[in-house]
Amino acid sequence: QVQLVESGGGLVQAGGSLTLSCTASGFISRGYGMGWFRQGPGKEREFVARMSWSGNIIYYGDFAKGRFTISRDNAKNTVYLQMNSLKPEDTAVYFCAAVEMGSSWNNPNYWGQGTQVTVSY
């Protein structure tokens, strides 16, 4: 049973920063990708960022480019999302996801429970 546990969410003022963490536990095959999605109030879930096992393949959603940075520590089975210059429209529940080798990011194998990020004016 693979579990993804996020942490680091909270309340921050516009222009501020937050760093989210997500740690995977349980049996998961080597080489899995990790990433983040978010779902704002009344909105559909959207892609934020993802990173391959090796770290040499990274993608960001358009809104995240230049403000968010994804990184991972494979020794700790942990992925991070550094978020800078936060805007009220970044308010959402942020979900960690993991994809095993051979699977698609269109349907991640594993999801975290989500962590709330609220950006105030």
pLDDT tens digits, 61-107: 999 999 999 999 999 999 999 999 999 999 999 999 999 988 999 99
pLDDT computed for residue 28 by the predictor: 75
Task: Classify 61 in phi/psi space as left (phi over 0), alpha (psi -120 to 50) or beta.
Answer: beta
Mean pLDDT across the chain, nearest whole number? 96
pLDDT computed for residue 110 by the predictor: 96
pLDDT computed for residue 30 by the predictor: 81
Confidence at 27, pLDDT banded by 50, 70, 90: confident
Go through 94-110 and write b for each residue having 16 or more CB atoms within 10 A of its CB, e for each that does not. bbbbbbeeeeeeeebbb
Least confident of 6-10, 41-45, 69-73, 101-105: 101-105
Judged against a pLDDT cut of 90, whether residue 1 lies above it is answered with no
- Is residue 21 classed exposed, middle or buried when 0-12, 13-18 and 19+ CB atoms within 10 A define those classes? middle
> Mean of the pLDDT values across residues 29-48?
94
